[in-house]
Amino acid sequence: MSPRNILVINCGSSSIKFALVAEGCSRFALSGIAERLGSPEAVLRVREYGSEECLPMPRASHAQALARLLPLARLAAGGELHGVGHRVVHGGEHFTRACRIDAQVVGTIRATIGLAPLHNPGALAGIEAVLELFPALPQVAVFDTAFHQTLPEHAYRYALPDALYREHGIRRYGFHGTSHRCVSQRAAALCELPIEDSCWLSAHLGNGSSTCAIRDGRSRDTSMGLTPLEGLAMGTRSGDVDPNLHLHLARTLDWSMERIERLLNHESGLLGLSGLSNDMRTLEQARAEGHPGATLAIEVFCYRLAKSLAAMSCALPRIDGLIFTGGIGENSPLVRSLTVAHLRVLGFALDEQANESRGKGLGRAIQAAGSPRVLVVPTAEEEMIALDTLALLG
Ligand code: ADP
């Protein structure tokens, strides 16, 4: 039987990232992004066999971009597309695993928009556009939150009146679940440990960042909460602040809710602290040239990451390894080194030479002798979404 082809789609509010995944193949036949959707600069960038084509689509909507993309994907798939796997950020408490998309699932995702107003409308636009263009093409939704539905109640509840949870769903949900699931499975395979009897601390560090404690293949705690703002300092997100900050800014500076939302989501984190950039590569270079803001931003990022990992260790009976993943986790020896230096109390230490060495593949160990494992494991969210989709196609 020839390999089946799944188009993996990640719809944001104004972008669609995509990858065409062939069953059993880790290289994408086609990938790219449609960005600035809705604006005059909207563009579809398609990478195929190493070359990139840039197709301007002024003011294109999600549906129009998908109408252009789907035939290209079908062509690249040799004429047959077997399904579409959608990354959906928020599944609330409704979805504990991936599921085939039907009218009921669309309705439930729509009902969850209140919990993820910045993220779920994009995913819905993508799902509905595919439904309209290719009604017979099977679609699967893979939720960022689903992996964390195994959190125990003491980990997912806020210390708030019960009614806010019971009547309004206010609780910690967690995100990046597909990535934490992927790298914990890969780490277990790498170390030849059964996933169902293994304990991992995982740090997914990209523009958004989160930590996770994974016991026996199940998420037991994670740093993001009701929304992806809670927890670590991120590219432009503040992560944890004193909850009274909102009141303080409103009272003392007369700031509106929208102004505060923009501050915490788009002007804070590495960008806010450094006054320079949200991009770790830029900050590392500036730090090397003595930029004080970049130096501070990286120090805060690593210290708070270490603090979060130490907190996550409370959810585990033992630690089989600490996993670094995501653009920063996979590529920044500096961040790994500064972070692990704060975790000596848990026995962690790095082999700095191994930490500095570059290498691709399933993953590699970088701990010093006598330390619990520290692993650099590339995440593969698109492949996980494609695998989940294939599993549901039967
Ligand atoms: P996203 O969350 O958007 O998927 P990524 O996982 O691609 O983001 O991570 C993006 C981050 O990874 C950026 O801050 C980028 O600077 C950082 N990064 C990528 N390569 C390197 C590198 N070689 N050294 C340090 N940071 C890197």
| Digit-coded pLDDT (tens) for 126-184 | 999 999 988 999 999 999 999 999 999 999 999 999 999 999 999 999 999 999 999 99
CA of 141 to the centre of ligand 1 (A): 26
Mean pLDDT of the chain: 95
| Digit-coded pLDDT (tens) for 277-333 | 999 999 999 999 999 999 999 999 999 999 999 999 999 999 999 999 999 999 999
Specify the ligand 1 atom closest to the Cα of 270.
14
Q: Is the CB of 281 under 6 A from ligand 1?
A: yes
Q: Is the CB of 206 under 6 A from ligand 1?
A: yes
| Digit-coded pLDDT (tens) for 40-69 | 999 999 999 889 999 999 999 999 999 999
- The string of DSSP codes covering 258-307 is HHHHHHHHHS-HHHHHHSS-S-HHHHHHHHHTT-HHHHHHHHHHHHHHHH
pLDDT given at position 92: 93
Q: Is the pTM of this model over 0.85?
A: yes
pLDDT band at 220 (very low <50, low <70, confident <90, very high): very high
Q: Highest-confidence range of 35-39, 76-80, 174-178, 355-359, by mean pLDDT? A: 174-178
Specify the ligand 1 atom closest to the Cα of 326.
6
- Pull the structure tokens for residue 167: 């009547």
CA of 48 to the centre of ligand 1 (A): 22
Q: Is the CB of 280 under 6 A from ligand 1?
A: yes
Residues 245-252, mean pLDDT to the nearest whole number: 97
CA of 208 to the centre of ligand 1 (A): 10
pLDDT given at position 361: 72
Report which protein residue has its CA nearest ligand 1's atom 12: 327
pLDDT band at 12 (very low <50, low <70, confident <90, very high): confident
| Digit-coded pLDDT (tens) for 350-388 | 999 999 998 767 799 999 999 999 999 999 999 999 999
Q: Is the CB of 331 under 6 A from ligand 1?
A: yes
pLDDT given at position 25: 83
pLDDT given at position 223: 98
pLDDT given at position 362: 79
pLDDT band at 97 (very low <50, low <70, confident <90, very high): very high
Residues 266-287, mean pLDDT to the nearest whole number: 97
Q: Is the CB of 279 under 6 A from ligand 1?
A: yes
By most ligand atoms within 8 Å of CB, the mutation choice from 332, 339, 381 for ligand 1 is: 332
CA of 166 to the centre of ligand 1 (A): 38
CA of 51 to the centre of ligand 1 (A): 22
Q: In what order do the strands lie in the sheet with 30-35?
A: 51-56, 43-48, 30-35, 16-22, 5-11, 83-88, 139-143, 99-100
Q: Is the CB of 328 under 6 A from ligand 1?
A: yes
Residues 184-207, mean pLDDT to the nearest whole number: 97
pLDDT given at position 76: 92
pLDDT given at position 257: 95
> What is the percentage of the chain residues whose pLDDT exceeds 90?
89
**Is-contact 353 359, C-beta < 8 A?**
no
Q: Would you say residue 116 has pLDDT above 90?
A: no
CA of 181 to the centre of ligand 1 (A): 20
By most ligand atoms within 8 Å of CB, the mutation choice from 224, 282, 325, 328 for ligand 1 is: 328
Q: Is the CB of 327 under 6 A from ligand 1?
A: yes
Residues 63-80, mean pLDDT to the nearest whole number: 92
Contacts of the segment 25-31: beta carbons below 8 A, 24+ positions apart: 26/380, 26/383, 28/382, 29/5, 29/76, 29/77, 30/72, 30/73, 30/76, 30/77, 31/382
**Is-contact 375 323, C-beta < 8 A?**
yes
pLDDT given at position 283: 98
CA of 236 to the centre of ligand 1 (A): 13
Q: Would you say residue 394 has pLDDT above 80?
A: no
Beta bridge partners of 20: 7, 30
Q: Is the CB of 208 under 6 A from ligand 1?
A: yes
Q: In what order do the strands lie in the sheet with 321-325?
A: 218-222, 209-215, 199-205, 321-325, 373-376, 364-365
CA of 270 to the centre of ligand 1 (A): 12
Q: Is the CB of 284 under 6 A from ligand 1?
A: yes
By most ligand atoms within 8 Å of CB, the mutation choice from 31, 178, 207, 270 for ligand 1 is: 207
Q: Is the CB of 326 under 6 A from ligand 1?
A: yes
Q: Which residues contact 131 (CB under 8 A, 6 or more apart)?
A: 101, 106, 139
By most ligand atoms within 8 Å of CB, the mutation choice from 281, 282, 381 for ligand 1 is: 281
Question: Any idea which residues carry the catalytic annotation?
Answer: 144
Between CA 368 and CA 20, with CA 360 as vertex, the angle to 5 degrees is 145
Q: Is the CB of 332 under 6 A from ligand 1?
A: yes
Exposure of 154 by Cβ count < 10 A (0-12 exposed, 13-18 middle, 19+ buried)?
A: exposed
pLDDT given at position 2: 79
Please tell me the distance from the alpha carbon of residue 271 to that of residue 275, in angstroms, as a whole number: 6
pLDDT given at position 26: 79
**Is-contact 295 280, C-beta < 8 A?**
no
Report which protein residue has its CA nearest ligand 1's atom 13: 279
Of residues 376 and 12, the one with the higher pLDDT is 376
pLDDT given at position 332: 97
